[in-house]
Structure 1
Amino acid sequence: MELKVDSIDFSYDETLVLEDVSFELKAGEILSIIGPNGSGKSTLIKCINRILDPKKGSLIFNGRDLLNLTREDLARHLGYVPQNESRNFPVTVFDAIMMGRKPYISWKPREKDMEIVSEIIEKLQLEDLCLRDVKRLSGGQRQKVLFGRALAQEPDILLLDEPTSDLDLRHQLEVLELIRQETSRGIAAITAIHDLSLASRYSDKFIMLSEGRVYAAGGREILSSENLQEVYGVEVAVLEHRGEKIIVPESPIA
C-alpha cells in the first residue's frame, strides 16, 4: 500500500488554504499532521477523502488517482473519522457501525457484514452499549463508535481528524492504542492532532503545516524547539522521557 500526495493546492473562493503540500505514506505507518489552528490540517484530510476537491495536484493510491474513483470505491479504501459528528435521528451503536459496511451492501447486510460488525464491537469493548442510542453515549464512547464505523469499511488508510479532541486522558490513550493496533495489521493512518507529546509517542512521521504550506516533514527530529517556536509562536521546552519527546509550552513569543 502506498499513498502519494503531490503538490496539493486548495482554496475557498480566492483564499488559499493549502499550497504545494506533498508527502508519501506506506502500509503500517502513522502520519501526524501538526500545526496551529487554521494551518490547513482538517482541510488536507478532507481533500484526501474527497470531501473537498483539490484545485491542483494529485492523490495517487497504489498507482490509481483518488480523484477519479467513485465515492463507493473510495470508501472501500479510506475510512474517515471526523472530529465530531451530530445526528438528528436516533441510531444504535450497532447500526452506526454497520453504516461502515455500506460500500459492500447491495440491499441488506449479509452474514459476513454482521460478523464483521460484531467483531469490531467486541474489539472496541462496546458489547454492553450495542443497542444504545449513540446520542446517549459519552464523548469517548462516541469516538469509539466513529472509529468502529471506519474499521467496518475495511480500509487501507484511516483518516482521523482530531481523534483525541474532547477526550479525557484514558480515552485519548485508548483511541491512539487502537490506531496503533490497526496499523500493526498493515493498514496506514493519517491523523490531524494538536497534542504534540501524544503525536510524538504514536506517530512514525510528521508534516508540520504553517499557513497552508509544509514547514517541515520527517520523523521526530522535526519536533525541535526551533521549529515549534517558529510555527506556533511560543517558547517550548522539548524534554525526553523514557525515550519519548515531551513538548512543554512555556510562554507566547511577543
Structure 2
Amino acid sequence: MTKSPTQTLALTGLTLRVQNLERQLAFYRDLLGLEVIRQQGPQTDLALPGRQFTLTLLHEPTAPLRPQPTLGLYHFALLLPSRADLAAIFRRLVEARYPHFQGASDHGVSEALYLADPEGNGLELYRDRPRPEWPFRGDRLAMVTKALDLEALLSEARNSRPLEAQTTLGHLHLHVRDLDEAQAFFEGLGLALMQGDYPGARFLAADGYHHHIGINLWARGRTAPPGATGLLGYRIAIRNQTPKTLTDPGGAQVQIVDSSGFPPIHPVQ
C-alpha cells in the first residue's frame, strides 16, 4: 500500500460533548485502543499511536443526551489500513459482546461496520477497496449499500486486536437541514460532489476520494435540545489554506488548518 503524494485535504480532529466520561473512555480507550494524550479540566484528548487524528471529549455531566436522529452527527468514520485490520477490530467487538453494534454494509468502494458509542454517537469502522475497483455510473461514483458477509470477515482474523495504529479519520456524515446549503458550504472548502443520486444524501470529497463528507436529510429537521451531547466541531487540514474557524450549517465549529507540512494520510491502494 502506498500513500498519495498529492493529497490536499484530511480530517484530523473531532470534538464530542459527553455526559459520562468514564463510560466513553471505557469504549474509546479500553475497547478501541485510543490513548489519552492530554487531559486538562473537562477536556480529554485521545489518539492512536500513529497520531493521524485526535478525538476530543468535552465532559459536561449535566448535558442531556442527544436524541437520535437529530441534526448534527450521523456518524464519524475511522478508516483502517486493511481488511485484516477491520476483521481484527470486529473480532474484538464480538468477543467483548459490545451491545451497540448496528450493522454492516458493502458500499462497493468500501466495507463498513456500524455501531454507536455508549452515548449514541454513530461510528463507522471501514476499509477501502482499491480505487480501480470502485463502481462508477458513467463518470459518476455509484456507491451502493449491500449486505456484508460478517462470517467471512470474521474468518480473516484469528486474533482480535484494537484499532491499527495508522487508522485515520476517513470521513464525517452529517444530518443536515438543507442539502443545497450544506453542499455549498463544503464546496467552498474545495470539496467536490462525488455522488448526488443516493436517496436523501450527497457525498463530497477532495483528491478524488469517494467522500470526506456525507450529508443527508434523514433526521427530517429534528433538533436536539440546547447543550446536548454530540458533535461540537471538527478539524480539516487543507493544503495552502489560511488557518481559520468557521461554523457549518449545523452549528458545528470547523477549524481549518494548513496541511502543507503534514504527511499524506489517505491510502491509495
TM-score by structure 2 length?
A: 0.24
Whichever of the two has the greater Rg, that structure is 1
Higher helix share: 1
